[in-house]
Structure 1
Amino acid sequence: MTDAKILVVDDNKSVLSALEILLQFEYKSVQTLFNPNQISSFPNMEEMDIVLLDMNFSAGVNTGNEGLFWLNEIKKKSPNTSVIMMTAYGAVDLAVKALKQGASDFVLKPWNNERLMTTVRSAYELRKSKQEIHNLKKKESNLKQVINEDKNFIIGQSKALSSVLNLVAKVAKTDVNVLITGENGTGKELIARELHRLSARKNEVFIGVDMGSIAENLFESELFGHVKGSFTDAKEDRAGKFEAAHQGTLFLDEIGNLSLQMQAKLLSSIQNRAVVRVGSNTSSQVDIRLVCATNCNLEQMVADGLFREDLLYRINTIHIEVPPLREREGDVLVLADFFLKKFAHKYDKPGLRINNVAQEKLMEYQWPGNVRELQHTMERAVILSDGNVLKPTDFLLHAKPMQSLDHQPLTLNEMEKQMILRALDQHDGNYSAAAEQLGISRQTLYNKLKKKHE
């Protein structure tokens, strides 16, 4: 017996009885309604798999308008329920009208039992297909939401960062290709995700691809997909990154690492917004927002013959340069505080803070690895900390030697500041010990530091 729920609506009790007897041996639940007005208050209509609905209920009326009205009412309550229309007055135009308004089929009275049962089975299969599609769309929507969930944030208050974010907000509303450049660790992927988050595609997927990690022999398969049997390990059809990003955003990171041969193949797909899977001759159109990123100087690479000029023009409609951390005045401590709270919570070390001398050390450092280096530095400091206060010695930074007087000498103020910070660093922030080493009083040392921050 099929686990389906069927509702029969007809003002002829003989018809209701006949259909109930016919259907109950094959379907688990068969209910009947004599009065169509009860449809509006019928409980759990969305659980009905099939409704057999008469088209005429008033004596002497055979236009079918009553049935069409109740068809629309059922569809409002339960769009995926299959509705089979029944009438003793067959007319092709009426059948077509019912099908256009959402009916799944049409049955004439008196019916042939075998033909009617076949119609009901087909309607049930249609209902199941619609339900599966609905469930798949719901799962897809949930999956996209999880994939696009904000797990990282763009932190900072500097003018340099604000300028970039203002540009991102303007560009995000369009579908133009964007090239993001900047040093390693500056947060190029975060900028790409912000472009996606602010775009009309925000509810679709964001697909990121590290171009530097793709082997040349797998390049086409990874980006454009392949068909079963196209090469040794191709055991099934597989969509590439372009197709996976359809209607969403495709982010190609480290695009400067591609060989000229791979650049040529990529250019064709970007120009045509279409891909051909490996082993196939069929072209598939893709609707994507393309965002690329690199830490390379692509214009210099073009001059050196290492990057295609036509590809650069294609990906570079809008250019966004992400500033290094050393140029984001004031953001070092903002980011350090953010990472401190994040890792203090992660490693269950509440109440941690950074003392003033350690803050000076963080601000003086040039951060060649940018935000990524600062993040790793803060995580390491939190993990290895013994007390509630992080001191200069808790931060392991790459030592930067004092500049030689033979090469762009520092000013006296800059040299004095470096000497003071170095002395404080060597004595774990102890002002008295640092002052003694420098040959000045503790109050003088404190005043000099205060003056340099004014």
Structure 2
Amino acid sequence: MSTGKILIVDDQKSVLIALQLLLQDEFDEVLTLSNPNSLISTLENHSIDVVVLDMNFSAGINTGNEGLFWLNKILELDSKLSIILLTAYGDVELAVKAIKKGAVDFVLKPWDNQKLIATLKTAIQLRRSKLEIDRLQGEKKSLTQILNKNGTQMIGRSKAMLNLYAIIEKVARTDANILVLGENGTGKELIAREIHAQSKRSDAVLISVDMGAITESLFESELFGHAKGAFTDAKSEKLGRFELASGGTLFLDEIGNLSLSMQAKLLSVLQTRQLIRLGDNTIREIDIRLVCATNKNLLQMVADGEFREDLLYRINTIQIDVPPLRERADDIAILAEFYLRKYATKYDKSKLKFSTKTLDKLKSYLWPGNVRELQHTVEKAVILTDHIELMADEFLFHQTVKSKTAYKPTRIADMEKDMILTAYEHHEGNMSRMAKELGVTRPTLYNKLKKYDL
């Protein structure tokens, strides 16, 4: 690993020679300058980690103003550079002033060799820490942009959607936990993204987790992270989704699919806003905005003992009910046009349009798969059509297969009575043949006839 590059700036040749001899075996490279006028060009042409800067350069002048001047120039060029000041004992107050302006430390002349080396190594580590923080912040910003790049696509002007927009606007600026309820395909994740986009955390990341896809064995590792060696395949430490979302929004989709044991672990973290990575002992604070979603009836699950009541209250400060597409029929044409334009552009069929009959057909369908089904239906039609105008017969909807006779609950006693009557009519009252067909004895058959008053 690189040990760093040092630049020494001092007008005394003896100081430069002494420091170069002392430091050349400790660091990758040691450069010296006796005139600060070439300082900036040297920094521009070399990857310097630490500048050791004398406070005074003009003979007979000990105000330190020259040192402060060049300190400012260095920091203007690179604010992450570590600067160590060389100063005489009487200039300590001036050196403290320089530290307030951005210098890392100061060293008194004459210096202690080991102390100076230790100070320089610390300054190099500080420089690298600053650069690493910049790199991580840049990566986080890029990740946030990637994860949030799709923005939101909430479309609709129906009364149901206008009410939904109003609710989102009210709750988004708070940090209240939100529970989004709705059928599959209604756009619950889009609502979570819209809440995040309108929140105070919009510049941070939104992390989305499909709880239905996480197995019991991987639950803690995926959500809370793990330490290196926590289990067989844990070859390095891993941040869980909670830590990744800290400072932003965590969206837990399909939360109704969690087992009771997984619910208990989740509740503990939500209550304390603290977690411990699997295989670790360090308590870590988390700062998240929580949005959950499900298509299940959680109140019924609570009544059936399948969902913890305390967890439901924890995630349900505000409940948002998403209307199915059949309850917002006014939006069907708007959504269809949106997806037509999207896929017509994607598949290079920009002149495509709907016929009037096609739009009527789309508006009359109940859309059990909601917006997602509409989206896929339009995309399929765009791909397969050979016309400029999408015709009604190009849209074939998948109907649920139903039995010819509707199911009616029937008591066993009623079924038995019907069987006896059918046998009676078929065998014209012949008790022996009836008993044989029904698989009972004649006395049993007599008792049944008496029971049902036949």
Cross-structure match for 1:165: 165
How big is the shift at 1:103? 2.1
Q: 1:348-379: per-residue Cα shift (whole Å, max 9, x none)?
A: 22211111111100000011110000001011
2:247 is equivalent to residue 247 of structure 1 = yes
2:276 is equivalent to residue 282 of structure 1 = no
Cross-structure match for 1:313: 313
Cross-structure match for 2:449: none
1:69-108 equivalences under 5 Å are 70-72=70-72, 74-89=74-89, 98-108=98-108
Cross-structure match for 1:440: none
Distance 2:399 2:258 in 1: 34
Cross-structure match for 1:183: 183
Report the residue type matching 1:332 in the other structure: I
Distance 1:7 1:228 in 2: 39
Report the residue type matching 1:85 in the other structure: L
Cross-structure match for 2:441: none
Contact 1:224 1:240 in 2 (8 A): yes
Distance 2:329 2:107 in 1: 76
Distance 1:341 1:29 in 2: 63
**Matched residue SS, 1:156:** coil
Contact 1:50 1:83 in 2 (8 A): yes
1:37-436 equivalences under 5 Å are 44=44, 48-56=48-56, 64=64, 67-68=67-68, 70-72=70-72, 74-89=74-89, 98-111=98-111, 119-120=119-120, 122-150=122-150, 152-399=152-399
Contact 1:45 1:78 in 2 (8 A): no
**Matched residue SS, 2:86:** strand
State the TM-score, normalizing by the size of structure 1.
0.77
Cross-structure match for 1:446: none
**Matched residue SS, 2:209:** strand
Which protein is bigger by CA-based radius of gyration? 2
Contact 1:84 1:104 in 2 (8 A): yes
Distance 2:280 2:367 in 1: 48
Distance 1:17 1:219 in 2: 61
How big is the shift at 1:69? 6.0
Quick one: structure 1 residues 231 and 118, their matched pair in 2 at CA, closer, same or farther if it must change by over 3 Å?
closer
Unaligned runs of 5+ residues in structure 1 are 407-454
How big is the shift at 1:156? 1.7
Contact 1:180 1:320 in 2 (8 A): yes
Distance 2:330 2:34 in 1: 73
How big is the shift at 1:155? 1.6
Report the residue type matching 2:204 in the other structure: E
Quick one: structure 1 residues 53 and 372, their matched pair in 2 at CA, closer, same or farther if it must change by over 3 Å?
same
Of stretches 366-375 and 252-261 in structure 1, the one that deviates more from structure 2 is 252-261
Distance 1:298 1:124 in 2: 56
Q: 1:227-247: per-residue Cα shift (whole Å, max 9, x none)?
A: 233333333322221112111
Distance 1:23 1:281 in 2: 41
Report the residue type matching 2:284 in the other structure: S
Q: 1:38-66: per-residue Cα shift (whole Å, max 9, x none)?
A: 98999859965332222245776656566
Distance 1:48 1:235 in 2: 35
Percent identity over paired residues: 57
**Matched residue SS, 1:234:** coil
State the TM-score, normalizing by the size of structure 2.
0.77
**Matched residue SS, 1:397:** coil
Distance 1:56 1:369 in 2: 77
Q: 1:77-127: per-residue Cα shift (whole Å, max 9, x none)?
A: 422011010112267666555445432232223456776566545534432
Unaligned runs of 5+ residues in structure 2 are 407-454
Q: CA RMSD in A?
A: 3.3
Quick one: structure 1 residues 18 and 260, their matched pair in 2 at CA, closer, same or farther if it must change by over 3 Å?
closer
Contact 1:249 1:289 in 2 (8 A): yes
